[in-house]
Amino acid sequence: MDFAFFLIQLLNGLQYGLLLFLVASGLTLVFGIMGIINLAHGSFYMVGAYLAWSLSSMTGSLTVAILLAIPLTVILGMGLERLLFRHLYQRDHLYQVLLTYGLILVFEELRSLIWGDDVHGVAVPALLNASIPLTENLSYPVYRLAISGVCLLLAAGLYFLIQKTRLGMMIRAGASNRDMVQSLGIDIKLIYTLVFALGIALAAFAGMINAPLSSVFPNMGGQVLIICFVVVVIGGIGSVKGAMAASLIIGLAETFGQVLVPEVAGMIVYVLMAIVLVWRPEGLFGRS
Amino acid sequence: MKDSRLTQYLPYLVVGLLALFPLVESTFYMQLLTKVLILAIFAMSLDLLVGYTGLVSFGHAAYFGLAGYALALMAPKYETVSLWWSLPASIGVCALFALITGTLVLRTRGIYFIMVTLAFAQMLFFIFHDTKLGGGSDGIYIYAKPLMKLGEIEVANLEKLEHFYWLVLILTGATYLLLHRILGSTFGRALLGIKVNEHRMRALGFPVFKYQLASFTLSGALAGLAGYMAAVQYGFVNPEILSWHQSGAVLMMVILGGMGTLYGSVIGAFAFVLLQEVLSNQAWFGIAAKHWQLAMGIFIMLVALYMPQGLAGLAQKFRRKPAEEAADE
Amino acid sequence: MNKNEKAGYDRREFLLGSTAIAGATAAGALLPSGTALAQQGKLKVGLMLPYTGTFAQLGVAITNGFKLAIEEHGGKFGGREIEYVTVDDESNPAKAPENVNKLVQRDKVDVVIGTVHSGVVMGMAKVLKESGTLWINPNGGAGAMTGAACAPNFFRTSFSNWQTTHALGKVLKARGHKNAVFITWKYAAGEEMMEGFKEGFEKEGGKLTKELYVPFPQVEFQALLTEIASIKPDAVVAFFAGGGAAKFLKDYQAAGLKGKIPLYGSGFLTDGVLEAVGDAGEGVETTLHYADGLDTKKDKAFRLAYAKTFKLQPDVYAVQGYDAGQLLAAGLAAVKGNVSDKVGVIKAMEAAKIDSPRGTWTLSKAHNPVQDMYLRKVVGKENKVQGVAWKALADPARGCKA
């Protein structure tokens, strides 16, 4: 492996990692703050992608589609929280696993009923539809770089929201002591609804902006779900910082795994996860 | 325990009736029932972990599938293997794998435990999916059913569907009795204690980790028993039997039936398979059967929301004896 | 080593299977009176196809094609009306034996039609070999079905994975490509297609420089595309399907490889995804047993009828389902609907010349289509036929002792 090749693969790995972070960040937030284990997170990713496709083919613009779809997914998230998830906060994780497992089936069938089982493509916005040449026959799509930029912005935004704002303070307080926050007169129920909706919207948003790269197809959520769990668990549940670190580690491991040890590429991330958890049972940045 | 006579003898009655089933129907439904009983063993093995030890495993299909592959790889190409050594060997492989993974995963708790059990199952999945070891993604056949011979006498001929059915029925009963025995012992009560309050049990001087590990290993071994039987039944193993969907399905059975009650797992396995059969039956639901997973999904959600104690819990409510309910706890 | 073992199995398995059939036919011959009775009732056709999940669309296309064939025969095969029993196989191999058992034992169907996923095909093979039930597979290309695990009652109207890439070797040679890289998912179908290509290409003196595998069903290709760029092969050959194929084509273009290193593939790479990929597919050449613009009378009639009946455009899967219906019709016509004359049905099906939308094809000894493989090129939203890449290509059926 020559040096240029190595550098490009490094870039690939980091970029893939950032993409993973985009999906995993919502998951870790809902996980960490409300203690909800959400297997249907991948379904929201899929819902986002399908919304991006159907709305952009209606309006002719991905940007417009995303602007329309975000409020829709926020409403979806709030509705689901009120109707379903609210009843499970005090219960064992087991029931959350169960409920969200059921949700996966429901979303997958609804997708089939509403949008059908075809593969669809979403066009890259014209402004970003270009490539930067790297070597004589390899170039890098600008849209991928743009997504990486969005991921970084989002990460910074999340960090700011949670660490620096009043809402973030309440969220953090609510995560560690629900009753105390309640007794201080803060409407914890509302906060939970908001956080949950935020998590759903993040997953859906990831699906939307990734749709031009990934295309839109049945069961697309299932593919990202498990890998995002791995990211969240390695990073430490609830830690946005951890999710970022873990995403990059996984991105690099998968990229170099496929190139260097293709025979076992499929299981590398799981081996990595097992090692981390045995070494640090609460994840890299988790609170023990 | 002031159970009425009926409830006391009910299990024997059920087993008796089940034993007679092959006389009534001898092909498809008997095979389906065989499958349900195998799943019941599988679900009971998971209930030991989830319902009695307080450990939610999301990778239990690993042990189920591993036993199937163990049999497939042990079966000589042209001859039949003996059940007498291949069954214990397959179970042994699972127990060993559970012991090793158990020492690692038991360092974690809660969601981390759920995820790390999943990770080990996924690893195994990719080993069988990506390598030629077990036929890759297309799976591998087991050509002949294992032999059950004592000297020259054939105890049972597993090529015969009813013989196999009876064997599985006996094993289901044996698993139930074994677990019932174990859970009634000091060991079982200690497990329940750990489930309720791990710190207190530790303070009382119980070797919590060792107890949990023993439970984890036993659970893996029993899942192996079920997996071995499943592999024998259809003579075909495929990586999909150790996928996370399979782990999810068995978890569903345990909760649907009612966790922490062994018979609940058996009921759960029955109900789960029955539900799938009914909902996807095109003769009854016509075109709607195509979207049977929608109904299944909604049902699963309703169970999670409104039936936390599962079907067994429902049955207990109808008994209307609060004192008993308390005693059962 | 592995292959030899497989071949060994088959012998034994084949013997088991063939005795079952021989027994069945002997019984049929001895009981001529029973056959008259059987003719009265409807013919039970079991459809075991994916109706949920990733392959749901394929299941529907195959079902439609099959039903169209029946309709064209006046709703009857060999004079008998058809009764359908449908099972959703969910593309789940773990449930395959049980699902096919439903059809064979519970519903006692006369013939099984299925399925898409090759792992499920392998599970079906196990059960159907023992039961001896007539089986027509309208898609799943697992080589073993008409190779190591073949049996007299197994028929396929689609392709073997090997077939879909084998002709590419000739094509690449003709284009002057001396070496190539193959990229696919790490699973059985991908590996079989890789073998098919490798064999064909090496026979022509080409060199397969590298086999690249992406863990199934992941769709992150960037690392391997970078590797392709650094290897700089004369050509790239790929197999992916559905969403994976769409993403691969887009990524290949976005990475700047398109236009620099020509891309070829098994036809599934560009089937059913052209609407989704925009111009990323343009110019990609593939081989398959069906193409757009064949311009034969049969194909035109089929497309018209299909579009009229189902308000959908037919695809290769619909053709395979349609041909499953045609093959069954040929078999049953010969025995006048008396399906218990299994030897008669099998003989007639073996001898059948199927007038398919894809062109006429016959069955090989192992019951896999011997068919023309078309070279197709993506033009606009179509896989335009460029010519025949290989006339009457037959799967080698390795390990089949039939």
Question: Does some domain include residue C390?
Answer: no
For chain B, which chains pass the contact test of at least 3 CB pairs under 8 Å?
A, C
Q: CB of B86 within 8 A of CB of B74? A: yes
Whichever domain contains C302, its CATH number is: 3.40.50.2300
Averaged pLDDT for residues B246-261: 91
In this structure, the answer to whether residues C87 and C170 fall within a common structural domain is: no
Q: Is residue C376 part of a domain?
A: no
- Answer whether residue C382 is part of any domain: no
A112 close contact with B: CB closer than 8 A = yes
Q: Does the CB of A5 have a partner CB in chain C at under 8 Å? A: yes
Place of tokens 């059908």: A116
In chain A the domains, ranked by start, together with CATH numbers, are: 11-125+139-279 (1.10.3470)
Task: Using the CB atoms, write b or e for C253-264: b if 16+ within 10 Å.
Answer: bbbbbbeebbbb
- pLDDT higher than threshold 80 for residue B310: yes
- Average predicted confidence (pLDDT) for chain C: 88
Same domain, C26 and C125: yes
CB contact under 8 A, B290 and C51: yes
Domain boundary (C259, C288, C317) is at: C288
Can you tell me the distance from the alpha carbon of B288 to that of C366, in angstroms, rounded to the nearest whole number? 38
For residue B296, list chain A residues with Cβ-Cβ distance below 8 A: 102, 105
What's the whole-number mean pLDDT along residues C310-339?
Answer: 94
Residue C401 counted as domain residue: no
Based on the fold, state whether residues C54 and C178 are members of the same structural domain.
Answer: no
- Asked if residue C129 and residue C194 are part of one domain, the reply reads no
Number of domains present in the structure of chain C: 2
Which SS3 state, helix, strand or coil, does residue C73 take? coil
Domains along chain B with CATH numbers: 5-328 (1.10.3470)
**pLDDT at residue B175 tops 70:** yes
pLDDT of residue B251: 92
Contact A105 B126 (CB under 8 A): no
Identify the closest residue of chain B to A227 by CA–CA distance.
B119
Inspect the interface and report whether the beta carbons of C13 and B236 lie closer than 8 Å: no
Distance of CA B21 to the CA centre of its chain: 22
Angstroms from C35 CA to nearest CA on chain B: 23
C250 and C128: one domain?
no
CB contact at 8 A, A212 and A143: yes
Judging contacts by C-beta atoms under 8 Å, the chain B residues touching residue A95 are 255, 304-305, 308
Q: What is the pLDDT of residue C104?
A: 93
Is the minimum CB–CB distance between A137 and chain C shorter than 8 Å? yes
DSSP state of B48: I
| A 227-286 residues with CB < 8 A to C | 254-256, 258-259, 262, 265-266
- Residue B243: CB atoms within 10 Å: 21
Residue pLDDT, tens place only, C11-25: 334 334 444 444 444
Give the distance from CA C371 to its chain's centroid.
12
Domain hosting C363: range is 2-159+296-367
The verdict on B116 touching A (C-beta cutoff 8 Å) is: yes
Rg (CA), chain B: 20
Q: How does strand B148-150 pair with strand A131-133?
A: unpaired
Q: What is the mean pLDDT of residues C238-257?
A: 92
Same domain, C55 and C107: yes
By Cβ distance, the residue of B139, B233, B293 closest to C122 is B139
A97 touches B: beta carbon within 8 Å: yes
Determine, yes or no, domain membership for C388.
no
Closest CA to A93 of A83, A101, A105, A104: A101
Tens-binned pLDDT, residue by residue, of chain A (288 aa): 588 888 889 989 998 999 899 889 888 888 888 888 888 999 999 999 999 999 999 999 999 999 999 999 999 999 999 999 888 888 888 888 889 999 999 999 999 999 988 889 898 888 888 888 888 878 888 998 899 999 999 999 988 988 888 888 887 777 777 677 777 777 888 888 998 999 999 999 999 999 998 889 888 888 788 889 899 989 988 888 899 999 999 999 999 999 998 888 888 998 898 888 878 888 898 775
Q: Is there a contact between B293 and C144 if contact means CB atoms under 8 Å apart?
A: no
pTM of the model: 0.89
Mean model confidence pLDDT for chain B: 88
pLDDT of residue A288: 56
Asked, for residue C386, whether it belongs to a domain, the answer is no
Instruction: Give domain status of residue C95, yes or no.
Output: yes
Q: What pLDDT sits at residue A4?
A: 82
Exposed, middle or buried, B41 (CB in 10 Å: 0-12/13-18/19+)?
A: buried
Tell if the CB–CB gap between B304 and A88 is shorter than 8 Å: yes
CA gap C291, C164 in Å, rounded: 13
Q: Is the model's pLDDT at C167 over the cut of 90? A: yes
Q: Do A94 and B56 lie within an 8 Å CB cutoff?
A: yes
Please state the rounded mean pLDDT for residues B245-249.
91
Tell me the shortest Cα–Cα distance from A16 to chain C, in angstroms: 8
DSSP labels, B154-214: EEE-TTSHHHHHHHHHHHHHHHHHHHHHHHHSHHHHHHHHHHH-HHHHHHTT--HHHHHHH
Chain C residues at the A interface, defined by Cβ less than 8 Å, are: 52-54, 56-57, 60, 186, 212-220, 222-227, 229-230, 232, 242-243, 245-247, 250-251, 254-257, 260-261, 272-273, 275-278
The reply to whether residue A214 touches residue C219, judged by beta carbons under 8 angstroms, is: yes
User: Looking up tokens 């070496």, which residue turns up?
Assistant: C179
- What is the pLDDT averaged over residues C116-129? 93
Whether C22 and C127 map to the same domain: the answer is yes
Chain A residues inside the 8 Å CB shell of C256 = 131, 133-134, 137-140
- Inform me whether the pLDDT recorded for C268 exceeds 80: yes
C141 backbone dihedrals φ, ψ, rounded to 5°:
-90, 15
User: Dihedral through CA A270, CA A273, CA A278, CA A281, nearest 10?
Assistant: -140
Is the domain of C136 the same as that of C233? no
CA–CA min distance B96, chain A (Å): 18
Report percent pLDDT > 70 for chain C: 90
Residue contact A112–C56, C-beta within 8 A: yes
Whether residue C182 is found in the same domain as residue C304: no
Residues C200, C154 share a domain: no
Q: Is pLDDT above 90 for B268?
A: yes
Answer whether C243 sits within 8 Å of A256, measured CB to CB.
Answer: no
The mean-pLDDT minimum among A234-238, B128-132, B284-288, C305-309 falls in B284-288
Give the dihedral of Cα atoms B204, B209, B212, B214; nearest 10 deg.
Answer: -110
| Least confident interval from B11-25, C204-218, C276-290, C305-319 | B11-25
User: What pLDDT is attached to residue A280?
Assistant: 87
Query: Residues C38, C152: one domain?
Result: yes
Q: What is the pLDDT at residue C402?
A: 62
Lowest mean pLDDT segment, chosen from B113-122, C171-180, C294-303: B113-122
Q: Which residues of A touch B107 (CB under 8 A)?
A: 277-278, 281
Restricting to B residues 26-65, those with a Cβ less than 8 Å away from any Cβ of A are 50, 56, 58
Rounded to whole angstroms, the maximal C-alpha distance in chain A is 65
- Residues C218, C180 share a domain: yes
Mean pLDDT, range B301-305, rounded to an integer: 90
C383 found inside a domain: no
User: Residues 298..327 of B with a Cβ closer than 8 Å to A: which?
Assistant: 298-301, 303-305, 308
Question: So what's the pLDDT on residue B4?
Answer: 62
Among chain C residues, the shortest Cα distance to B276 is held by C88
A119/C220 touch (CB, cutoff 8 Å), yes or no: no
Mark which residues 165-204 of B lie under 8 Å from A by CB. Answer: none
Which residues in B lie closer than 8 A to residue C189 (C-beta atoms)?
A: 137
| Helix, strand or coil, per DSSP, at residue C265 | strand
pLDDT band, very low/low/confident/very high, at C33 (cuts 50, 70, 90): very low
Query: What is the model's pLDDT at position A274?
Result: 83
Residue B1 has pLDDT above 50, yes or no: no
Contact A233 B111 (CB under 8 A): yes
C217 Cβ under 8 Å from any chain B Cβ: no
The answer to whether C81 and B3 have CB atoms below 8 angstroms apart is no
pLDDT tier, C32 (very low <50, low <70, confident <90, very high otherwise): very low
Cα(A187)–Cα(A82) distance, integer angstroms: 14
Cβ-defined contact of C52 to B282 (cutoff 8 Å): no
